[in-house]
Amino acid sequence: MEEKKQNPVKKVLSARGVGQVVTVSIGLVILCVIFNFINPSFLGKRNLPNLLRQIAPWIIIGIGQGYVLITANIDLSIGSVVGMSCMIIATLICNGAHPVPAVLVALVACLATGVLNGSLVAYFKLPPFVATLGTQTICRGVAQLVNNNMNTDGITGAKFGAAAKTMTNIFYYQKTLGVFNTFWIALILWVIFNFILAYTRTGRHLYAVGSNTEAAKLSGVNVAMTIIKAYLVSSFCAFVLGLIVCSQTSTGTTNAGMSYETYAVAASVIGGISTMGGTGILSGVLVGASVWAAMDNGLQMIGTQVGLKNVVVGLIVIVCVLLDVIRRTGMIGRRKK
């Protein structure tokens, strides 16, 4: 059989994972047009930066969950790690620490969680659902214990309150070039982790482990290290979001990040990353996060009833998973030209 010469546009579109991303993007654009038609404030001067800042959190933890999903695992502890990060930073600042060491301590705690998750799954062979459910509970417990089960005071009133205030500005309240810093941070993280996933050895290992773990092992891949790396990325992203939430609320709240892991799964799945592992690209997280935030923001802007957003997004997630399952099992060879 001869290989046909493909024109460059077609080549990009037929690359793995791109199809779903493009489809969902088109859907997103249509949605935004509809929302804006009903309430012109939607794409207005005030809401655009607002919307972008609301997409950012889901991009950030979508990256982490995406990495883990690609290895055919799952991380249910993300939300609790967000809360733990937020509480550690706020508590330390309120007790007189400068933001920088406070942030570093939180970073260490979160990375340790990543290593724990990865080890439980890779070395002790615990099912990822069970392992990360355990760490979910542990980290939420830590988040509560850190300040005796109470929310903290405002960090801007503490000893290094001025530095804390700067931190909240940098990570949440300030804009650069008209767009909130929070969004730029999400974008930068995405660029870095997309590069790793798409262009490096580690990225190839992640996909291989998610596709056929045994085959990856027999191709010389260090499966355990790869899994641990994925969970490390996930916990790191959760750490960053915890820092952002702490900056947003200027305190530590014990229930910060509650249920965030499920939103991270949604952002990944809508964007085409399969829960069965081995497929999907990180651009999917950008679209998935955008859909999630745009639905939340848009449905509220047009005044829809509360429960409706959850129903609609839940349906979208189901449809995306269905599409993925059909693609995996019913139409293998679809990409043959």
Partner 1 sequence: MTIMRDGKYITEGDFRDMDMSTIISHMVGREIKEKFPRVQCQKGKPIFEVRNLNAGRMVRDVSFTSYEGEILGFAGLMGAGRTETTRAIFGVDPRESGQFFLDGREIKINKPMDAIRQGVVLAPEDRKRDGLCTKLSIRSNIELPNLDISSGKGGVVNRRKVTEMVAKAKKEFEIKMPNDEVDAGSLSGGNQQKLVVSKWLARESRVIIFDEPTRGIDVAAKVEIYNLMNQLKQRGISVIFVSSEMPEVLGIADRIIVMCDGRITGELDIEEATQEKILEMATRFENKLTADQMPQQAHN
Partner 2 sequence: MKKLFALLLALVMVLGTAALAEQYTIYLVTMDLEDMHWVSVNQGAEDAVAEAKEAGVDIRYVWTGPTVGKNDAAQIECINNAYADNADVILLASNGPETEVATIEQYDADGVKFVYVDSPANSPVALCTLATDNTEAGRMAARTLLAALEEAGVTEGKIGIVNINTSTVSTQYRENGFREVFADTAFEILETQYGEGDAAKSQEIATNFITQGVVGLFGCNEGATVGTGNAIAAEEGSTVLGVGFDKSDAILQLVVDGKLVATTAQNPYNMGYEGIKVAVEYLTNGTTEFEDVDTGVSMLTADYIKENGLLG
Which residues in this chain contact partner 2 in the complex, by CB under 8 A?
39, 41, 44, 46-47, 50-51, 53-54, 144, 149-151, 153-154, 156-157, 168, 173, 245, 248-251, 253-256, 258-259, 297, 300-301, 303, 306-307, 309-310
Spell out the long-range contacts of 94-102 with Cβ–Cβ below 8 A and sequence spacing 24 or more: 94/147, 94/152, 94/153, 94/154, 94/155, 94/158, 94/252, 95/158, 96/158, 96/159, 96/160, 97/159, 97/160, 98/160, 98/163, 99/155, 99/160, 99/163, 99/164, 99/166, 99/167, 100/163
Q: What is the CA radius of gyration of the chain?
A: 21
User: Least distance (Å) from partner 2 to the CB of residue 54?
Assistant: 6
Instruction: For residue 106, report the phi and psi dihedrals to the nearest 5 degrees.
Output: -60, -40
The residues in 300-329 that bind partner 1, with binding defined as CB under 8 A, are: 328
**What residue 251 binds from partner 1, partner 2, none (CB within 5 to 8 A, per partner kind)?**
partner 2
Instruction: Establish if 15 lies at the interface with partner 1 (CB under 8 A).
Output: yes
The residues in 24-83 that bind partner 1, with binding defined as CB under 8 A, are: none
Question: Whole-angstrom Cα distance, residue 179 to residue 50?
Answer: 9
143 token code pair: 């988040």
**What residue 124 binds from partner 2, partner 1, none (CB within 5 to 8 A, per partner kind)?**
none
Question: Whole-angstrom Cα distance, residue 171 to residue 155?
Answer: 14
211 versus 300: smaller Cβ distance to partner 2: 300
User: Among 253, 219, 291, which Cα is nearest to 25's?
Assistant: 291
Instruction: For residue 250, report the phi and psi dihedrals to the nearest 5 degrees.
Output: 55, 20
Binding mask 171-200 for partner 1 (x = CB under 8 A): ----------------------------xx
Which member of 8, 220, 307, 330 binds partner 1 (CB under 8 A)?
220
Question: Whole-angstrom Cα distance, residue 157 to residue 220?
Answer: 54
46 versus 125: smaller Cβ distance to partner 2: 46
272 versus 277: smaller Cβ distance to partner 1: 277
**What residue 151 binds from partner 2, partner 1, none (CB within 5 to 8 A, per partner kind)?**
partner 2
Which residues of this protein are in contact with partner 1, per CB under 8 A?
Answer: 1, 3, 14-16, 199-202, 204-205, 207-208, 210-212, 214-222, 277-279, 328, 332-333, 335-337
